[in-house]
Amino acid sequence: MQHAAARVPYDVQRTFTEHSALVLTPQMRMLAAGMPSALARGAATAVSGPAGCGKTTMLKAVAAVADPAVNTAFADITRGSTDRQVWEEIATAVLGVTVEGTARDMRHATLEHLVTHPTLLIVDEAQFIGRAGLLQLRWLWAHPFPNGFAIVLAGSDLFSHLDADESIASRINRRIALDHHTAATMVTHIQNHHRLAAITDRDLLVRINEQYAQGSWRKWSNFLAELRDQQHRGPITEQAAQQALTSITGRYIDLAERQPSRR
């Protein structure tokens, strides 16, 4: 994995607005640093944290700086997915094409592909995979792939979901817990992440975080995307911020009113 800051590809701008730089947090560095070893031994990593704490952001960042020699497959599981739908998402992500047939057909097509292609499989919202699906995935990452394979499972309250079955929990090689950042840490990340935030008064960013974003990468991404859609240029002003927040929330947020600091 490359550890240097990189530009975010266009296809991940749902999480990162364009003209943003990757911010490798300690958790991202931990995940990235362990990937060469994980690929060599077929390891499984679990990433768990509350909604909006940056799980998807972290996964997209790691995918964006992944070794180009390794196929990085990103699967996003939706609530209520059947085993077939789970494997359709995974097989499509791994092979890059839609696979027809039963869940069994898709598992075997995925297996055959992984035998010859080194792959990092990232599965987001893995808390929506049922026990049977997790057991089938465990079968996948327990298989010895000669060219390298690793899987990263991420989701809300994922650890307790995995721990419900010891045969699954015992085969998770690494766990990374995420939580919402403090105001000071979040604002620093945002200033490093986005060029407009970098030239904006820090006190204003703190107020935006306290009264709207509250340490959520997702909310900050929505805010920065709204500024982009409004074609804002230059340092973020209080007026521009209030206009963006009104568009997002449908209500007026008075950024002049300070809340008790969460730093």
The parent domain of residue 241 ranges over 183-249
Give the span between the Cα atoms of 133 and 82, in whole angstroms: 9
Single out the residue of 25, 56, 27 nearest to residue 174, CA to CA.
27
Average pLDDT over residues 223-251: 92
Give the span between the Cα atoms of 60 and 63, in whole angstroms: 5
Residue 60 lies in a domain: yes
Same domain, 154 and 87: yes
Same domain, 141 and 187: no
Same domain, 135 and 27: yes
Residue 214 confidence class, pLDDT cut points 50, 70, 90: confident
Residue 21 lies in a domain: yes
**Mean of per-residue pLDDT scores for the chain:** 83
Residue 9 has pLDDT above 50, yes or no: no
Q: State the pTM of this model.
A: 0.71
Q: Euclidean distance between the first and final Cα of the chain, in Å?
A: 32
Give the span between the Cα atoms of 258 and 51, in whole angstroms: 25
Residue 261 lies in a domain: no
Higher pLDDT, 16 or 217: 217
Per-residue CA distances from 88 to 103, 122, 234 (Å)? 7, 14, 44
Residue 24 has pLDDT above 80, yes or no: no
Top mean pLDDT of 7-11, 53-57, 82-86 is at 82-86
Same domain, 99 and 68: yes
Residue 125 lies in a domain: yes
Share of the chain above pLDDT 70, in %: 85
Give the span between the Cα atoms of 263 and 261, in whole angstroms: 6
- Report how many domains make up the chain: 2
Q: Identify the domain boundary among 140, 162, 177.
A: 177
pLDDT at 108: 92
Residue 112 has pLDDT above 90, yes or no: yes
Average pLDDT over residues 73-94: 93
Same domain, 49 and 153: yes
Q: Which long-range contacts (CB under 8 A, 24 or more apart) does 135-141 make?
A: 135/165, 135/167, 135/168, 136/83, 136/87, 136/103, 136/107, 137/90, 138/44, 138/167, 138/168, 138/171, 139/107, 140/107, 140/110, 140/111, 140/114, 141/42, 141/43, 141/44, 141/171
DSSP assignment of 224-252: HHHHHHTT--SSPPHHHHHHHHHHHHSS-
Share of the chain above pLDDT 90, in %: 45
Same domain, 222 and 109: no
Average pLDDT over residues 119-140: 91
pLDDT at 123: 94
pLDDT at 2: 33
Same domain, 163 and 187: no
Residue 106 has pLDDT above 70, yes or no: yes
Per-residue CA distances from 49 to 85, 88, 126, 247 (Å)? 24, 26, 12, 28
Residue 33 has pLDDT above 90, yes or no: no
113: Cβ contacts below 8 Å, ≥ 6 apart: 94, 95, 119
Q: Identify the domain boundary among 177, 210, 238.
A: 177
Residue 195 has pLDDT above 60, yes or no: yes
Residue 157 lies in a domain: yes
Residue 17 has pLDDT above 80, yes or no: no
